[in-house]
Amino acid sequence: MTRTKPAPATSKSQVAYEWIRERVTSGAFNPGYRLVLSTLANQLGMSVVPVREAISHLTAEGLVTFERNVGASVAMVDPDRYIHAMEVITVLESAATALATPHLTRRDLAHARELNAAMRAQLGDFDFRRFTALNQEFHHALYSRCPNPRLLEMVEAEWSRLGHLRDSIFGFVPHRPQESVCEHDDLLDLIEGDGTPDRIEQAVRQHRAGSLDAFRSHGTHGPHRNDRADQGT
């Protein structure tokens, strides 16, 4: 009888990579935040070696920068990188949303309405990270039923690569959240009405283009360019 080999245990460097990456992409470690290897190793209960490997991986992904004689820190916002990534996402996500539209259920659309209402409720006491998370969920609700798995994979991969920069638009541009909520209403009306896939794809593109145009006008200054805070000594 053939024995099934047990699955290999997750390596310490992978554990460190996932732990640090989650804190970078969630905003717990802000742009400029210093990543002190010894402190991270103590928090993770491991040696410095796997943490160094994790930092090297994150540096290759562009989420972390390393300066000689200074060390590692969370990458600052790069406007050009953000714009280029969002241009790609705009094309992919608008196509995925158009393809998904015939497969959306009433429950999907009701959920999207609820998410947009929650975004509108955030406008008074604004938390751009919470607003961004709701915005991501809103758009995901509309494109996730795309029947093309390769296209879905590409959309999700681009969002993942963008990492902590996903926060950028709503942190940079104070007027954009209100406009975005109104455009979401229009998009839902179009989907629930007689909007063709071509019109829906164009509406999503225009929506994303509006955010990018706003970012280009204000994208030279970060939303919260904090001091390079140390984790420890």
Domains and CATH numbers, the chain: 12-74 (1.10.10.10), 79-218 (1.20.120.530)
Is the pLDDT assigned to residue 227 strictly greater than 50? no
Q: Where are the alpha helices (DSSP H) in the chain?
A: 12-26, 37-44, 48-61, 79-100, 106-121, 128-143, 149-162, 168-172, 176-192, 197-218
Half-sphere exposure of 3 (CA within 13 A, CB side): 3
Residue 76 φ then ψ, to 5°: -75, 165
Task: Give the Cα separation of 167 and 7 in Å (integer).
Answer: 36
Is the pLDDT assigned to residue 8 strictly greater than 50? no
Write out pLDDT tens, residues 36-58. 999 999 999 999 999 999 999 99
CB 201 within 8 A of CB 95: yes
Whole-number pLDDT of residue 10: 65
Average pLDDT, the chain: 84
Write out pLDDT tens, residues 95-144. 999 999 999 999 999 999 999 999 999 898 888 778 888 999 999 999 99
Q: Where are the alpha helices (DSSP H) in 27-78?
A: 37-44, 48-61
The pTM of this model reads 0.67
Whole-number pLDDT of residue 114: 98
